[in-house]
Structure 1
């Protein structure tokens, strides 16, 4: 049986094929890392999603230019993303012959999660493989191939700690819910009786009534964020008490946490437990409102009329399109 690697043996002659083989091995590992994180998306989709996340709605031609691949390849990937419900395509306002591509709420939520979980570890895993490389290009390619043969990319990614992770509610960490939220509410507003009741006993006011609380745990810092889904009756749930510790601000904990809570709400909706998702806030929380809009929440006068009186500080109400 032949044991030779013909591509490596013939060197520059098959460089293109060899680089393609290397890329396929890297993408296979990244694809498994996405599956392990619970996302049914391919690495080839990520450049398109990254452009839409950074620059907002755009056209197919602009995506082709930004990524530097052929239009048929972009069109194929977009079709996959549309079928997954991560992007939407519609006629452009300025030119009806053009299509405008936008992220859906599901797409925004996915990106908020992978930017905190999969992307950083993938970056670090690939950077670690490349760090010792030196010398001619073909020697570097051979070293990368040997590294992947010894340990695939997905195994390298899985071995790295996640900078952020979601933690479910438990009585042992219930006090963190009150600590984190009391901190920011007292800093920006005034703790109202409703706040004190919910923060003082989240088990009674949220968990025992069929709601849920998720926490964000940061490597090295512990619990740094919290957010709740609190039942309001009739299948309506309020996304409430989303706070991030001052020590963790600037790390995009809020975006990661909000994406996780939205995903939890979608799962509850699929189970028939949650029919409506809304939130109440104040214009002083401008950064939070921007984040809510970014991940799909929409202003709602109806929600304001129904629930706005719950807090004296409330002058903004939003609904999430499930």
Structure 2
């Protein structure tokens, strides 16, 4: 029986196609895939997990419908990245569940700060980040052309 409520699960290697597809779906709707996207989406094990990061997947009605990652920047700072929820599952609170799971993991790891890079065109995502407690901070140079806003959450 498929679950009636969304569930957050830890990434497993067999999730890589869904991790890629979910992110590809939203990125190409608004922007173009960039080289850093391809590196992470093609090899999440090498570029995220092996570097000390974590990936969460959202399961709903037997399907993987969302994802987000924690990327290790330093021992004290991680980046919330690659958050995606497929359009058919948006509005069910899945993005919030993914964000809360990532924040809880960061706290459990003793992380001092979470940061994220986004784009001002993504107003629903920015609203979610603000609800999760993120605030706008100065934007340093980024390898992403689409990044025009940085937000941080002190833990």
TM-score by length of 2: 0.93
1:1-322 equivalent positions in 2, closer than 5 A: 161=3, 163-218=5-60, 220-269=61-110, 274-301=111-138, 304-305=139-140, 308-322=141-155
- State the Cα deviation string for residues 193-223 of structure 1 (Å, max 9, x = none): 01111111000000011100001111x2411
Q: What residue is the counterpart of 1:25 in the other structure?
A: none
Structure 2 distance, partners of 1:283, 1:192, is 18
Structure 1 distance, partners of 2:103, 2:76, is 15
Instruction: Show structure 2 runs of 5+ residues with no match.
Output: none
- State the Cα deviation string for residues 255-304 of structure 1 (Å, max 9, x = none): 121111111111111xxxx3321000000111100110011001111xx1
Structure 2 distance, partners of 1:243, 1:253, is 9
1:234 deviates by 4.6
- Flag the structure with larger Rg: 1
Structure 2 distance, partners of 1:210, 1:318, is 21
- State the Cα deviation string for residues 93-142 of structure 1 (Å, max 9, x = none): xxxxxxxxxxxxxxxxxxxxxxxxxxxxxxxxxxxxxxxxxxxxxxxxxx
- State the Cα deviation string for residues 172-206 of structure 1 (Å, max 9, x = none): 11221111001100111110001111111000000
SS of the equivalent of 2:108 reads helix
- State the Cα deviation string for residues 233-268 of structure 1 (Å, max 9, x = none): 353211000000122122121112111111111111
Structure 2 distance, partners of 1:162, 1:296, is 28
Q: Which has the higher helix share?
A: 1
Q: What residue is the counterpart of 1:7 in the other structure?
A: none
Instruction: Show structure 1 runs of 5+ residues with no match.
Output: 1-160
Give every structure 1 segment of 4 or more consecutive aligned residues whose post-TM-superposition deviation is greater than 4 Å.
none
Which of 1 and 2 has higher RCO (CA within 8 Å, sep 6+)?
2
Structure 1 distance, partners of 2:115, 2:4, is 29
Alignment size in residue pairs = 153
Structure 1 distance, partners of 2:97, 2:76, is 25
CA RMSD in angstroms comes to 1.3
1:168 deviates by 0.4
Q: Which has the higher strand share?
A: 2
SS of the equivalent of 2:64 reads strand
